[in-house]
Chain A
Amino acid sequence: MMIWALILIPFIAGLLSLFIRVDVLRRSILIAAAVCHTAIITLCWLENPEPILAGWFAFDATAKLFLSIASVLFLCASFYAVGYLKAERHEPKKDFEEEEFFVNAPEAIFTACLLMFLMTMTLAITSQHFGLIWVAMEATTLVSAPLIYFHRHHRSLEATWKYLLICSVGIAISLLGNFFLAIAASAPDGSSIPLMRSDLAANASQLLSPWVKAAFIFILVGYGTKMGLAPLHTWLPDAHSEAPSVVSALLSGTLLNCAFVGILRAYEVTAAAGLLPFAQNLLILFGLVSMAFAAVFIIGQADYKRMLAYSSVEHMGILALGVGLGGAAVFGSMLHTVNHSLTKAALFLVAGNILAVYKTKIASHVKGVFSLISVSGFLWIAGILAITGFPPFGTFLSEFTILKAIIEQGRYFIAAAYLGLLAIIFVSFSAIAFRMAQGRNTENLPAKNERWLSIVPPAVLLFGVLVLGVYVPKQLTNVLHDIALLLGGN
């Protein structure tokens, strides 16, 4: 029942918002659907809901964690989106990078796609059947593509095209991975184990290991493209920098996690089939490569939204690395998922505020955010400290948990690479971001009143990260432990 509600509420609200002409009503529907979704998730924490459709959709530990993140983020983003849509005018406006005019996509389509995005993510995270995960994952790409093309100019179109093509090809590759898994689950007489997560894990000893290996590689590469693991991340910086900031926040904080869930499901089966070291090494490799790629591109990055996008590549790398290391690092990685999503979403929202005032994405053209829009400036600095893993934020705790696990395992080379890359990213990140916050604005921009809807959502998210740095609730710890146990950690 509850899971049905989680899927149907955003679906119906999305359909409705396509046909509503009154802006106020449509925006209220967006907020109402987001609030209902989060409320039901809260109820699900109190009492675990029954699986539906013969167990195809279930609210297991992984779904609990990731769906909660998605729901909370969507709630904050929907409030921000309402403020954003109010401020966006309907008539053509001037592109601030080039002297051209462009219009926005119709608001009804934008809102509908947002809500459908929530629905497809709910499907992707809760589904327990590998085929169904694939269908839902591809659907998230298709409904989020129009969101990136909200501002109808040629740069966002380029980003949308790359996103569509690269992610579709990536996901097609993971479909092949699913077929490999189906072969691995077949017996010589033609009978086969259903591609359900629980069935596969229970009968893991009968799986054919060469095919499981092939399946994991293909699924990792396929969903890894969508998750933004380097070197498959090429769509990510473009899409994140050209999409409206509220969409970037959702892409970074929730969509990448969805793809991560897809990988984790396959990882779980691979681990159950006795191939844990094989899968671990692959994840460690992808993790370190992603962090290195991100570090290279963050150094001297001119565009502050692209900088945040590359930081997402970095953090996806940390998540993969943490899971691949096993042991206590898996717990750290799961905790880091929460921290990263909250922080990055908040940062993108604040970046949206800065962009709205300064009308440029070039970091060196932005000066004196503190003096001009002081609340956003404060949130910007707090967010930057949080994302670079500064205490007392939650990111410090989770990154430190992973580091401790690496050192306990005696893998000093990985520890050195991990620390070194984090340090490089910290230095270049803060150099760019602090210069934006300090100083005086030279353009003589008029001081602006900040709207509540644009500062409260990121503030709430950042407060959450701060709290997680000091105190992790018992219920959350339990869920994180449950997931870690499934993934070969403790």
Chain B
Amino acid sequence: MWTDIIMVLLILTNMVVLGTSRLRACIRVVAVQGVALGILPLLHSFEWQLLIFAVLSIILKGIVFPVMLSRTLRQLNVWQEESPYVGYGLSLLMGPFALAFSSWISLRLPLPYTIHSTMLIPVALFTLIVGLFIIVSRKKALTQVLGYLVMENGIYAFGMAIAYHQPMLIELGVLLDVFVGVFVMGIAIFHISRQFDHINTDQLSALRN
């Protein structure tokens, strides 16, 4: 039951990310997504290892990332994604199609065992596609990082979907990589804004051929 509620929440947050231009709202919504996904592994089995991991990932995705990204927003004084490559109406329209597509794909790929919720795999794939779409369809470097986080959330959800648990060390390693990744990207965004006075990646176009 709870898994399904979280999945619905995931779908809704994805649609919000697709449809909103305000970056602060986007950051919050992605944080909500991260927290919801952090709770997910605790719903069915309760081990102390899992608990530590869940708490860590909730702290990281629910507190650290939003704070870091909001600070960047304030420093740069950028609040909106003004003119994305693909408009918001069209992006929103893309959402249901992507959802249908991921449901279709997950029907074609039968799992060798049964899992808690049939929604897990389609929603994970949907989140992944939305993340990728945000990365390629938005111009601001910050929005692209948000897209990367959404994509990462999708992969995380997929990892939850397969009953298989990787050894703790590797789970932590993945989390650490995502953290350092966002950190380094944040620094890069800061430098981009200083060099160019904006963070529009469509103007990063000096290098070709």
- Residues of chain A touching chain B, judged by Cβ–Cβ distance below 8 Å, are 129, 131-132, 134-135, 138-139, 141-142, 145-146, 149, 152-155, 157-162, 164-165, 168-169, 172, 175-176, 179, 182-183, 185-190, 192, 195, 208, 210-211, 214, 237-238, 241-242, 297, 301-303, 306
**Which of A158, A160, A210, A303 is within 8 Å of B109, CB to CB?**
A210
> Which positions 147-195 of chain B face chain A at CB distance < 8 Å?
148, 151-152, 155, 158-159, 162-164, 166-167, 169-170, 173-174, 176-177, 180-181, 184-185, 188, 191-192, 195
Residue on A nearest B108 in the bound complex, by CB: A210
Interface residues on B, range: 35 or more
Task: Classify the secondary structure of B's interface with A.
Answer: helix
B87 to chain A, nearest CB (A): 22
Bound state CA distance, A371 and B128, in angstroms?
A: 56
A153-B195, A158-B204 are known; give 9 further A-B pairs, CB within 8 A. A132-B173, A139-B180, A146-B184, A160-B188, A168-B148, A172-B152, A176-B128, A187-B113, A297-B209
- CB-CB contacts of B96-107 with A at 8 A, as 1s and 0s? 000000000000
- A159 CA / B206 CA spacing, docked (Å): 9
Q: What residues of A have a CB within 8 angstroms of the CB of B164 in the complex?
A: 182-183, 185-186, 192
Q: Write 29 A-B pairs (CB below 8 A) sorted by A numbering.
A: A129-B167, A131-B170, A132-B170, A139-B177, A141-B181, A157-B191, A157-B195, A158-B205, A161-B201, A162-B207, A164-B181, A165-B135, A165-B148, A169-B135, A169-B148, A176-B155, A179-B159, A182-B162, A183-B162, A183-B164, A185-B164, A186-B162, A187-B112, A195-B166, A211-B109, A237-B207, A237-B209, A241-B207, A306-B209
* Chain A residues near B205 (CB-CB < 8 A): 158
Whether A176 pairs with B158 at a CB distance below 8 angstroms is yes
Asked if A131 and B207 sit within 8 Å, CB to CB, the answer is: no
**CB-contact partner of A208 in B112, B141, B191, under 8 A:** B112
Query: Could you say which residues of chain B place their CB within 8 Å of the CB of A154?
Result: 195-196, 204, 206
Report the nearest A residue to B199, measured CB to CB: A161
A129 touching B206 by the CB < 8 A rule?
Answer: no
Q: Which residues of B contact A135 (CB under 8 A)?
A: 170, 173-174, 176-177
A186 to B112 alpha-carbon distance, docked (Å): 7
